[in-house]
Structure 1
Amino acid sequence: MDAMTTAECIHVYQHSRLQSESFTPEAVAAAYVAGLAALQEKAEADKPLTLEELEKMGGKPVWIVEYPKWGHWELSEYGEDYLEDRDPDFYGMTAPESIPDPLGKYGLHALGWLAYKKEPEVTQDGKPG
């Protein structure tokens, strides 16, 4: 989701059902800030973590996508443990389009892997989104 321009924010505010004499401008602004933060958090959760972000996920559950399970939760006390037994060079490695990979899912090569903050929704073509 792209960031909204100031003009778009003003348009949404002007046409909002939140406008009411019973709401203060501060309450409306707080509602929008909370809503936009929630949308941003959701958009970020649907994207794969970077390796740097993954290393900071110690103590937090991570959805790992890799062969043969193609999706499972892991929880580690130290974020570096998520990289143990996995080659960082294969992180996000996709299957070449010219060579169909019958094992691939999420668009990954059988050796590729990804990590997410939450289980991503998967489209019909097997890719997150």
Structure 2
Amino acid sequence: MTVINLFRIGGSCYFKHYFGSRELFDEFRAYYDSLEYRFEVGEGELEDVIGKLRSYGFEVNLVEEDEISEYTVIVDKFKKHGDLLRNAVDVVELGDEKALVMKDKVAKEEALERGRKPDEEWLERL
């Protein structure tokens, strides 16, 4: 079963997933942000979206704000990292670094080969 992580950030939840069919994508198109390449779900619609994802056979994991650091990798913003953005749900910049909130822990482990875990300064920001 495929797990989709929904990240609670502010008043919305975000997720990234490639749906294998147009029909399935169309079910969630209203939530798709084509500029950020991610889905954004407001709190009021969250229960319905989770139910719909589960009805299509997805397991849903809600990641609360205090858990986001477990999915985050810090990279140098001046080094190539465009390919990592494909699996990043959110990006935060601080100085010469970027925090990439990865869509799952597998993507985080892959990104750690080119970055590091958040330190105290980053943990306060996330």
Structure 2 length as normaliser, TM-score?
Answer: 0.24
